[in-house]
Chain A
Amino acid sequence: MKKMTYAEAIRDGIRVEMNRDGNVYLCGEDVGKFGGCFGVTAGLVGEFPGRVLDTPITETAIIGSAVGAAAAGLRPVAEIMFIDFTGVCMDELFNQAVKMRYMFGGKAKIPLVLKTICGGGVAAAAQHSQCMEAWFAHIPGLKTVMPATPADAKGLMAAAVRDDNPVIYIEHKQLLGLSGDVPEGEYVVPLGKADIKRAGTDVTIVAWSWMVHRALAAAEALAKDGISAEVLDPRTLVPLDKAAILASIAKTHKLVIVHEAVKTGGFGGEIAAVAAEEGFDLLDAPVKRVTAPDTPVPFSPVLEKAFLPDEGKIIQAVKELF
């Protein structure tokens, strides 16, 4: 184990996989000399000559070329600087990367990692702060990864790189500086396996990415009021560890879902539907969702604070179930 930040853990994950497999390369805007917009890939360009490539501002070609390179046998890790910019390359992702295998009758493999960052809290306003994971989770053929801790960030990066399918790996700005114990060397966290970040018996809180930490803080506060909250982090939305969610509900009989993305069409609705379809008899109360409201992300820190789900909103939602 070694203490490292979430950003260092991502970098270490990429480094280990690049050392392990010469077909892995990293490309994107400013990922090389500049070290990434948030410093996540700092130094890799010197460690892997010719394998860390600064691209022009060219999202379509970044993902489109990664699709072609993956089809031709490489394993690209292609960065789109902010998830908000993926709109510029959605065709390459949702019509090309994820469909080639199916449309070609299983004859192609596209081992492509789209690495990007989501989330608010830094007053970056509506075009640099969104949580768009539900878009991606809705695309068959794509896997959606959202690590919340440094160890998960490293292990899930390894799993994403090793996966033979397109994977979107979504970091969160608020977590980059978060420090934690991370296994050294090769370390893989399997896709599709949830993690109980805090065990509890009275209510299940499903949360991912930054919201895991807000849910944990809420759970601490709830414990003082005698409510034992279990915080379950699915870690990957696709594949989704339904069994872990249902097992937790079987124990607590109450479900609150927390996500930073806006409510309508959000992935929380999917988890609520899983609970209703497959766990209806396990529930003693209606399912609650704590999410951002259905607006673009505001700029002013005052407005953004009001926009983001926080401990208070989570605690309130939980208490409404008792």
Chain B
Amino acid sequence: MQLTKENLLAFYQTMVTIRTFETKAAELFAAGKLPGFVHLYIGEEAVATGVCANLTAKDYITSTHRGHGHLIAKGGNVDLMMAELYGKATGYCKGKGGSMHIADVDLGILGANGIVGAGQPIAVGAAFACKYKQSGAIAACFFGDGASNRGTFHEAMNLASIWKLPVVFVCENNMYGISNCQRDHMNICDISDRAAAYGVPGVTVDGNDVVAVYEAAAEAAKRARSGDGPSLIECKTWRWRGHFEGDPATYKNPEEQKTWIGKDPIPRLAQKIVELGHAADADLAAIADAVKARVAAAVAFAENSPDPLPADVLTDVYA
């Protein structure tokens, strides 16, 4: 599959947007401006970007507690996201969801999710709706290595398999479930092996290579759209930050951390773009600057937004 200059530059812009948004979120959290918990996706940007590049606004995704990257890659609005992180009335969820629950149902984003593994059966249901309505849309389900140990994973994979549903399971193996290293929470090396138990194709790819993720997801999405059922893609990647902001992550091996930071997906893509002659360093710097301005505008939007009214505590419980 030949990716065009436009494809690669779009990937770059998405990945830089995720990185910039989250770097800013980390700063704002440290400054005491963001309430609650913030779980960052820094280092894992290639996964959301490569997968969502195969999706349209009609397709569905379910996300995780580490969901900012998925939202941005699926086309989420950074103003509304940032306002939600601040708990403002203008946020995606009017200040009722926060970082862990941001959703944009109109864009098929069925929510970040505070419960590990909860999105898997929900994605299966969305995929069922796509098949039932013959809409041609599909669902992609993001989850982590830790979630692949949950019962939801097994039930969702099995049901999607027997009903041949158009769903792409995307395991973001960042090697850690909070403090628990993959070595200590499963006795297999590749989570994609688990697909075989359900008669589903499973592949492992370099999750820090956006092109590799894109290609695997393209094949899985094609399979889903053509009625051949689900696939499992394991993307091996690394969570640069602690589990949540404020977690010093002393449980991580510093050498491993150093090695993985050396595999940063963003400079890797930049190098490829430059080598292919699609852009010069200065062009990429200009993209990064524009993104920075966009995120600064999102922060200003959030800061200038009103708080929710106390009376709003009672709205939106029932339709």
Within 8 A of B (CB), among A70-104: 70-74, 76, 91-92, 95-96, 100-104
Q: Are B162 and A102 in contact (CB under 8 A)?
A: no
Question: Quick check: is A65 within 8 A (CB to CB) of the other chain?
Answer: yes
Q: Among B110, B126, B132, B317, which residue has its beta carbon within 8 angstroms of that of A140?
A: B317
User: For A109, what are the chain B residues with a Cβ–Cβ distance below 8 Å?
Assistant: 319
Question: Quick check: is B151 within 8 A (CB to CB) of the other chain?
Answer: yes
User: Which stretch from B43-51, B95-103, B265-273 is at the chain A interface?
Assistant: B95-103
Evaluate whether A25 and B132 lie within 8 angstroms (CB atoms) in the complex, with A107-B106, A165-B318 already known: yes
Question: Quick check: is B121 within 8 A (CB to CB) of the other chain?
Answer: yes
Q: Are A65 and B111 in contact (CB under 8 A)?
A: no
Of all chain B residues, the one with the shortest Cβ separation from A76 is B125
Question: Quick check: is B27 within 8 A (CB to CB) of the other chain?
Answer: no
Q: Are B316 and A105 in contact (CB under 8 A)?
A: yes
Sort chain B's interface into a size bin. 35 or more
Q: Are A64 and B316 in contact (CB under 8 A)?
A: no
Evaluate whether A96 and B123 lie within 8 angstroms (CB atoms) in the complex, with A69-B132, A108-B103 already known: no
Question: Quick check: is A179 within 8 A (CB to CB) of the other chain?
Answer: no
Q: Are B105 and A71 in contact (CB under 8 A)?
A: yes
User: Which stretch from B33-41, B152-160, B236-244 is at the chain A interface?
Assistant: B152-160
User: For A70, what are the chain B residues with a Cβ–Cβ distance below 8 Å?
Assistant: 125
Q: Are B115 and A71 in contact (CB under 8 A)?
A: no
Question: Quick check: is A106 within 8 A (CB to CB) of the other chain?
Answer: yes
Q: Are A58 and B118 in contact (CB under 8 A)?
A: no
Task: Using CB atoms and an 8 Å cutoff, list the residues of chain A in contact with chain B.
Answer: 25, 50, 53, 55-56, 58, 60-61, 63-74, 76, 91-92, 95-96, 100-109, 111, 140-141, 143, 164-165
Q: List 28 A-B contacts (CB under 8 A).
A: A50-B132, A61-B156, A64-B152, A64-B155, A65-B122, A65-B156, A65-B159, A67-B125, A68-B62, A68-B121, A68-B124, A68-B127, A68-B129, A69-B126, A71-B122, A74-B129, A74-B132, A91-B115, A96-B118, A101-B317, A102-B96, A103-B103, A104-B97, A105-B94, A106-B94, A108-B103, A141-B318, A165-B318
